[in-house]
Amino acid sequence: MKPAHDQGKPTALMATVLAALTCGVLLAQCGDSGSPNAGPVSQGGSIEDQLGFTQSGIQAAQAKVETEIAACMKAQGFEYTPVDPTAARAALTGKSNLSDEEFQKQFGYGLATLYGRGTQQTDPNDKIRQSFTPADQLAYDKALSGGNPQQTFYVAADTGDFGQLGGCTKQATDSLFGGSQLLTTLQRRLDELDDSIVQDQRMVRAFEQWTTCVRQRTGETYEDSEAVEVDIVKRLAAVVGPLPEGEFAAGAFATLTPDGPYDAAALEKVRRLEVEFSNADVACEEKHIVPVEDTVRAEKERVFRQANAELLRTVKPLGG
């Protein structure tokens, strides 16, 4: 299906869609870009919730970006079909209306559990791209992303690094959300806010309790949720071979298949472990971290809002 130099790597759009549609239930599972849906903080949600740095907000923003990208690509002579999130999710998970809780129970983080589950239906543009010569594929990638296909809107929203966007993706982001540099500045300051929350001694103690809780449930010792995901990826790679480096967003490995023979039973074991460990992670986080974080975040955000009032007035909410 893919040219030789693309074997084992998901297309840019596929990576975006799968990550956005299958991002895990809690903040720690989706990077530092916020929880999937508005949380407490006096029932108004956190700053990140209100600015749209949530699962639903990023999906809404992605829909707008997709439409803008299609117009931009057409102007440059390329066909581009905006992705239908519902169809993409259904093609990947087998259910278009899968709730966050259902996804968590069935797929865990969406890493090993979604490995190899991607289909052509998930990315309507993959067939278009694959019909091109290698030279035209490069031109297509340059028009779409500035020649850096891994730098997608979702990755930018997830990591806060909008400065790496290029091509029609950057143009669409700048047009809809007030400029990629503004979003980068905002996300950097939000990351600083999150750092101050995590470093609070109340949170340090909460994470220690989380570690103990997860160890009791899994027999393994982890510092945080990311460490659990890294362990799952290592276990997956040991079975199927080397995996792409970078962010471990949900669905990142869905379009991959082993280059050679592999132990199917071993892969299934990793998948079972992922679901088990992920659910232990969530249960322990809800018990030990979430209640403490809500209190600490409310305190820290009051100070943040005062110090960044002008910036917060300037930024357009992602899902707004």
CB distance 247 to 31 below 8 Å: yes
Instruction: Please list the ranges in the chain whose pLDDT falls under 70.
Output: 1-44, 53, 55, 85-88, 96, 119-123, 158-160, 246-247, 318-320
pLDDT at 209: 98
146 lies in a domain? Answer: yes
140 lies in a domain? Answer: yes
pLDDT at 39: 47
Q: Which residues of 74-83 are buried (b: 16+ CB within 10 A; e: fewer)?
A: eeeebebebb
pLDDT at 231: 97
pLDDT per position as a tens digit, 61-77: 778 888 999 999 999 99
pLDDT at 25: 27
319 lies in a domain? Answer: no
8 lies in a domain? Answer: yes
**How many whole angstroms separate alpha carbon 64 and alpha carbon 114?**
26
Q: Which domain holds residue 224?
A: 4-314
320 lies in a domain? Answer: no
52 lies in a domain? Answer: yes
pLDDT per position as a tens digit, 162-202: 788 899 999 998 887 777 778 778 878 988 999 999 999 99
Count of structural domains within the chain:
1
CB distance 108 to 250 below 8 Å: no
227 lies in a domain? Answer: yes
**How many whole angstroms separate alpha carbon 57 and alpha carbon 50?**
9
Question: What is the dihedral sign for C-alpha 218, 222, 223, 227?
Answer: negative
114 lies in a domain? Answer: yes
pLDDT per position as a tens digit, 193-222: 999 999 999 999 999 999 999 999 999 999
